[in-house]
Amino acid sequence: LAAAPGNGGKLQFKAIAPVPRSSDVLTVPEGYDWSPVIRWGDPLFKNSPIFDITKQSAKAQAGQFGYNNDYLNLIVDKYSGRSGVLVANHEYTNEDLMFDPEWFAANKAEAARIAMAAHGFSVVEIKRGRASARWEYVRGGERNRRITASTAFAVDGPAAGSALLKTAADPSGRKILGTLNNCSGGTTPWGTVISGEENFNQYFRGTGSATDKRYGIADAATERGWEDIDQRFSAHNKGFENESNRFGWIVEIDPQNPDSTPVKHTALGRFKHEGANIRIAADGRAVAYSGDDERFDYVYKFISKEKYRRGDRKHNLRLLSDGDLYVARFSGDSPAGQIDGAGAVPSDGEFDGTGTWLPLVLDGRSRVPGMSVEEVLVYTRLAADKVGATKMDRPEDVEPSPVSGKLYIALTNNTQRGTAGKAAVDEANPRTGNRDGHVIELTERKNDAAAIEFSWNILLVAGDPSKDASTYFAGYPKDKVSPIACPDNLAFDSKGNLWISTDGQPGTIGYCDALHKVTLTGNERGKVEQFLAVPAGAETCGPVIHDKDGSVFVSVQHPGEGGSYDKPISFFPDYVATPGKSKRGEVYGPRPSVVQVYATGKPG
């Protein structure tokens, strides 16, 4: 790879070589080092116990950092630059890595309660001695908070109080216990964190209804078996038929106020929300973009009714409560028959075209024939099916650049694209059996987030260019890029470079999941440079790029997945065998962790 430094501010680095998938190392560029900021089980409160993998309890876990941290942000207090809050969500649990199998078999109910407590969010204060130094978390910080599968959420928006959301335990349809499978997210211009409830279907036993089928809720015992200890997790229990309708939302939490009630926003629709990210439109309305991470599902945007008011937190906290909901339709502009499914670029030189945001709810009225507003919001997938939205290759993060305003859509993969009985290729999803995914760049008309029309082009068709002729890097030479597959989470540095974390490279191109920088402008547009690789079994999540400080933060999610408690394939991040005691008396195994990567100041 070319040794030329990137243009990421102080984050100069020479791309690392891709790392073989069995490597249990967090690999960073020359001139950089890393350390964990917080790990699964680290105590958040003064009275929370020190983590001990052999002595877990639900009570202990509710006061400790949860499992499988995914979305991440470090929100620095402006007045000091040396304090702030770290916000992470905890998407899911790996019981086979968390628990000794003998103990698990004898303690299934307590294990389920521990797993419930390991879901949700952590908010934890962070501090550093001087600006640019390394961050550490503050045990007992005033803003520290755990949100779990049992925390009370308020419901707002047009479907709050709907009959579709009522249960025997909540006849109001306005108070929901817990948040589940929070995947990606975003930090709003008013300082709150929004996050998507993604694969919520797996926690519920359904009845086989048409809506259950569309959302992937099976009428079968769930893998975690939570329905055995809490009746709300099975629709067969009278009075709890609607419980699964209460998940699949965008939730908003205020990390500055540990006493605030988190909110589920029905106005943004219900699907497998990867996350949501906000841009303010030309007229001041807040626009939230969101992907539904499923093969052949859709990209959405919500436009608030009210306008953002800088500094008016109370007002801004209501912006996601009322507005219009749209879904995207992409049209290609290449001559008919040129999208061959093998990934060859068409004769007009690009996969590109125009598109329209199709309204689902507009001015408080449903625009979907035969569906009420409440039905559109609770069964949003069925509504979008009816209006002719474009079926995409698993839309994950959908994130506007704070520098250019352009929107980037990570389409992680879709091996079923163009296969028998499935949707054919189109110019926005041009590859049959799309194993490695692609990234779309979308420009709203007049660069206004509230526009109804847009133009788009494919920035990257991912893969290993040394082995796959269908790859494309915005025209940049293929022998000068890092291989990349399964783009998932997106972030930007202060210069507007795109950073992409991956989920699935080991199973496709054979390398550990990674974090890559992609130059978007100038002669090097399309240049992909690998910054780091996460250890065996892990996925790279939640990248946060503090290039002005020379730091990058990542969530290392599910290290060791594919191994087990007895046969671990990862000992990240402490590299002490399980079970085995360290000097501090803690017992380690692979632990999902938030990591800071920092420049050492020594030349690489």
> Binding to ligand FEO by residue 293, rule CB under 6 A?
yes
CB of 347 to Ca ion, least distance (A): 8
**Member of 241, 350, 393, 396 binding ligand FEO (CB under 6 A):** 396
> Binding to Ca ion by residue 555, rule CB under 5 A?
no
- 136/129 Cα distance (integer angstroms): 9
Which DSSP string do the residues of 261-289 spell out, in sequence order?
PPEEEGGG--S-B---EEEE-TTSEEEEE
> Binding to ligand FEO by residue 183, rule CB under 6 A?
yes
Q: How far is CA 317 from CA 154, 323, 451, 600, in A?
A: 13, 14, 23, 40
Using the minimum distance from each CB to ligand FEO, give the nearer residue, 350 or 488.
488
- 286/311 Cα distance (integer angstroms): 14
Using the minimum distance from each CB to ligand FEO, give the nearer residue, 91 or 529.
91
334 binding partner (options Ca ion, ligand FEO, none; Cβ < 5 to 8 Å by kind): Ca ion
Using the minimum distance from each CB to ligand FEO, give the nearer residue, 143 or 273.
273
> Binding to Ca ion by residue 596, rule CB under 5 A?
no
**Member of 93, 334, 497, 505 binding Ca ion (CB under 5 A):** 334
- SS3 of 381-403: the string is HHHHHHHCCCCEECEEEEEECCC
Q: Which of residues 502-531 bind Ca ion (CB under 5 A)?
A: 503
- 574/565 Cα distance (integer angstroms): 16
Q: How far is CA 377 from CA 31, 286, 291, 306, 307, in A?
A: 49, 18, 15, 19, 22
State the number of binding residues for ligand FEO (CB under 6 A). Answer: 7
Q: Which of residues 139-178 bind ligand FEO (CB under 6 A)?
A: none
What are 41's two structure tokens? Answer: 């089980």
198 binding partner (options ligand FEO, Ca ion, none; Cβ < 5 to 8 Å by kind): ligand FEO
**CB-based contact 426:390 (threshold 8 Å):** yes
CB of 484 to ligand FEO, least distance (A): 17
Using the minimum distance from each CB to ligand FEO, give the nearer residue, 285 or 301.
301
CB of 198 to ligand FEO, least distance (A): 5
Q: Which of residues 483-522 bind ligand FEO (CB under 6 A)?
A: 488
Q: Which of residues 198-257 bind ligand FEO (CB under 6 A)?
A: 198
- 604/601 Cα distance (integer angstroms): 9
**Member of 91, 212, 230, 352 binding ligand FEO (CB under 6 A):** 91
CB of 224 to ligand FEO, least distance (A): 16
> Binding to ligand FEO by residue 292, rule CB under 6 A?
no
91 binding partner (options ligand FEO, Ca ion, none; Cβ < 5 to 8 Å by kind): ligand FEO
Site string for ligand FEO, 271-290 (x = CB under 6 A): ---x----------------
* Closest to 351 measured CA to CA, from 473, 481, 522: 473
468 binding partner (options ligand FEO, Ca ion, none; Cβ < 5 to 8 Å by kind): none
**CB-based contact 16:28 (threshold 8 Å):** yes
Site string for Ca ion, 167-206 (x = CB under 5 A): ----------------x-----------------------
Count of CB atoms situated within 10 Å of the CB of 23: 15
- 429/344 Cα distance (integer angstroms): 12
What number of residues does the chain have? 604
Contacts of 65 (CB under 8 A, 6+ apart): 38, 39, 40, 41, 42, 44, 88, 122, 124
- Classify residue 558 by its DSSP letter: S
Binding-site ranges for Ca ion (CB under 5 A): 183, 333-334, 348, 350, 352, 488, 503
Binding-site ranges for ligand FEO (CB under 6 A): 91, 183, 198, 274, 293, 396, 488
